[in-house]
């Protein structure tokens, strides 16, 4: 089956339109999800967290995005050694480290944690109530830089406006090409009528 030039152009045009549209939808999702959750974007019940330090290398590289599953109260007390958890490490700070020990103290459970790249465990054990989520095993390298940028006001604007401008520009170009094609067909049929 021979593919004509027009058919190839139309296929390419549709593919570019689809890519731009998917890009616009993904950017809108990241920006809206980040704003709605007040921080990290969420998808399918998982939170996407940006890795901002090298304390967990080589498990996660700095700038990666990891998926964590938020935990309910009874799940927070059933964690074990080698689980990787995200916990509240101050009023505005979340940390993701590996559990290296479990301490039971009356009704409380404390977790000793350590970054995989750190030589010693963290100074203060983590109270189970301060555990926010558990690592799901999902990692995308380098996407964290992009998500952090998308959360800034300039990044939010750029990531929504630029793909939109490209989509509108490409739609305008497609309309122009279609009008040109219609004009050439009209001129061709008019010249054919004159010669008859």
Q: Which residues are catalytic?
A: 53
Q: Per DSSP, what are the bridge partners of residue 98?
A: 84, 114
Which class for 111: exposed (0-12), middle (13-18), buried (19 or more C-beta within 10 A)? buried
CA proximity to 66, closest of 147, 1, 130: 147
Give Cα separations from 92 to 5, 35, 38 (angstroms): 58, 16, 12
């Amino acid at each position: 089956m021979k593919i004509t030039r027009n058919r190839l152009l139309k296929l390419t045009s549709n593919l570019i339109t689809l890519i731009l549209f998917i890009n616009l939808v993904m950017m809108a999702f990241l920006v809206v999800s980040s704003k709605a959750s007040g921080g990290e974007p969420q998808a399918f019940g998982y939170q996407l967290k940006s890795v901002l330090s090298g304390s967990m290398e080589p498990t996660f590289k700095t700038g990666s995005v990891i998926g964590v599953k938020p935990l309910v109260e009874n799940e927070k007390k059933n964690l074990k050694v080698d689980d990787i958890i995200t916990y509240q490490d101050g009023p505005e700070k979340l940390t993701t480290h590996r559990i290296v020990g479990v301490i039971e103290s009356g009704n409380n459970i404390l977790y000793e944690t350590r970054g995989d790249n750190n030589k010693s465990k963290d100074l203060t054990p983590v109270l189970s109530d301060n555990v926010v989520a558990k690592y799901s095993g999902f990692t995308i390298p380098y996407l964290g830089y992009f998500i952090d940028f998308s959360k800034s006001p300039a990044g939010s604007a750029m990531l929504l406006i630029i793909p939109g401008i490209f989509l509108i520009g490409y739609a305008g170009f497609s309309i122009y090409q279609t009008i040109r094609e219609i004009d050439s067909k009209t001129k061709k049929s008019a010249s054919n009528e004159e010669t008859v």
